[in-house]
Structure 1
Amino acid sequence: MSTPSETPGAQNMRRALQVLRVLGHHHEGGMSVSEVVAATSLERSTAHRLLTCLVEERFADRDAATRRYRLGLEAMRLGFASLSRSPLLARYEGVVQRLARMSEDTVYLLLRQGDHTVCVRREDGAFPIKIFSTRVGDTRVLGVGVGGMALLAAAPDEDIARIRAQHAQAFDAAGLTASRFEKVVARTRKMGYAEMTDTVTQGVAGVGAVIPDPGGAPFAAISIASIKPRMTPSRRAELGAMLLEALREPAA
């Protein structure tokens, strides 16, 4: 019986998976073609051909300005599919449900994947008007949305500056111009949670906070969203405090 390394006709697939693997290991900073060649020992022409194919299929993304490659959205979606049984979901499912019950609003659990967030859990509260701007599996640029903004504000300044520059169009479309963006990041850091209105969807407001990670930089967040008339400044402050208190308690 043949072992996986002896599977005939799988050489090109193995090479492509090898490229994806090294891109995953260097996703934050990205990789040049030369760096991919050095990490994989592939011929430059082979590495370039595989990277081009991965970009065409959206499993990799090439930055037009820096010419560096990172994982693409399709790779992120595959990673999300594996999260349906992740320990994080099991650990914080009760927290999400409790927050939805207490707030009566819509609560989301989000993960950071490179420069994006992906929604991995959604729980609707009892309030009759539901928020459908974010569904499980949706991805958006880190910082567009309160959960993503909480994660972005927790990142180093240089990381924030790079993401703002590389995704300026997405931030501007969400109303987060350069000046407003800086103010929101500063306010988020000061309060310990993010609060925004009319970014992802007009007429919707929310609060979001990171899930503390003693082992390193936060990579997950929980947010609460509702219609703007319901999300008055005093209510946002109340929900922000509720969220921080819930996240300080060890998840069951």
Structure 2
Amino acid sequence: MSVHCRHDGERTSASVQTAETVAHSHGVQSLERAIVVLRLLAKHHASGISLASIVAKTGLDRTTAYRIASSLVESGMASRGPEKEYRLGIETMVLGMTAMQRPPLIDRCAPMMKRLARQSGGYVLLCIQSGDYAHCLHMESAEPQMPELRSYVGMMRLLGIGISGAALLARYPDHYIRDHYSRHRAEYHKHRMTESKLCGLLERIRSTDFAYVHPRQMAGVGIAFETGSCGLAGLNVIVHASELPFSRAPAVASMMREHLVDLVPKESPSSATAR
């Protein structure tokens, strides 16, 4: 009789462990799905995204997508507008603002930036896209920092203005660029940047896959790269103009990409197929 009890106890323990394993697996799956939806909301934050589009882009069934989106809204991580479009919520913004006090991207990129600064002999700046602007996060240099360059850190500049901003904007399709220019026409005019001039600049960047500028005594090369989340980042190398003629720019851009190779996320076959 006691032998049977022991076997029953073992079966009960195994059943409990199986149930816990299944519950853990479901919990992890739910978390992964919520992260996918959050990233999608971030990607479409400016315009918002409908539930139908969430379903189409994630492959989730409508009930699951609605449950996840509703849970995110209840927690404040997402919001739902009057047209039932979803965006990031206030709690997500608070978390992002907290992270911006010391963005994780800085810790991730700083060692690479130091090596790149030593190899190039110049200044290396890291920017990240924030809506219609490029936000300069960090700078590393091989020599004492120039005050005018040091002041760039923390600055927000309109996309299309500056090296990183131009490299970032060039990644977008023409219709997005037209809408972007229309929204900021007055600000572009302050920089004497017409729409045709901007489009010409972006076409040159697309053809070379890097931005190049040479104002006054300094010259710079900028490239855009994926951060592994929902946005793009920009990397600049700035040196004295005499050391960086346009003929050297492709080699510098190639050097920058070599330094980024271990930081840029590898695209999975499924995501490549989806696009």
Q: When the two structures are superposed, what TM-score results if normalisation uses the length of structure 2?
A: 0.57
> Is 1:239–2:252 an aligned residue pair?
yes
Q: Which residue of 2 aligns with 1:221?
A: 234
For residues 179 and 98 of structure 1, what CA distance do their matches in structure 2 show?
38
1:24-69 Cα deviation digits (max 9, x unpaired): 8864238xxxx855669xxxxxxxxxxxxxxxxxxxxxxxxxxxxx
- Equivalent pairs: percent with the same residue? 28
Q: Which residue of 2 aligns with 1:107?
A: 124
- Residue type of the partner of 1:120? L
Give the 3 Å change call, closer, same or farther, for CA 24–243 of structure 1 in structure 2.
closer
For residues 121 and 236 of structure 1, what CA distance do their matches in structure 2 show?
22
Is the CA contact 1:146–1:206 (under 8 Å) kept in the aligned structure 2?
yes
Which of 163, 166, 181 matches 1:149? 166
Give the 3 Å change call, closer, same or farther, for CA 179–205 of structure 1 in structure 2.
farther
1:136-183 Cα deviation digits (max 9, x unpaired): 211010111111111111122222111122222333333433232112
For residues 150 and 180 of structure 2, what CA distance do their matches in structure 1 show?
23
> Is 1:211–2:225 an aligned residue pair?
yes
Q: When the two structures are superposed, what TM-score results if normalisation uses the length of structure 1?
A: 0.62
Q: Which residue of 1 aligns with 2:24?
A: none
- Residue type of the partner of 1:245? E
Q: Which residue of 2 aligns with 1:158?
A: 175
Q: Which has the larger radius of gyration?
A: 2
Which of 172, 182, 185 matches 1:168? 185
Corresponding pairs, count:
190
Q: Which residue of 2 aligns with 1:71?
A: none
- Residue type of the partner of 1:226? V
- Residue type of the partner of 1:157? D
Gapped regions of structure 1 (runs ≥ 5): 1-22, 41-75
Give the 3 Å change call, closer, same or farther, for CA 140–155 of structure 1 in structure 2.
same
Is the CA contact 2:136–2:155 (under 8 Å) kept in the aligned structure 1?
yes
Q: 1:91: Cα distance to partner? A: 1.4
User: RMSD between aligned alpha carbons?
Assistant: 3.6
> Is 1:116–2:133 an aligned residue pair?
yes
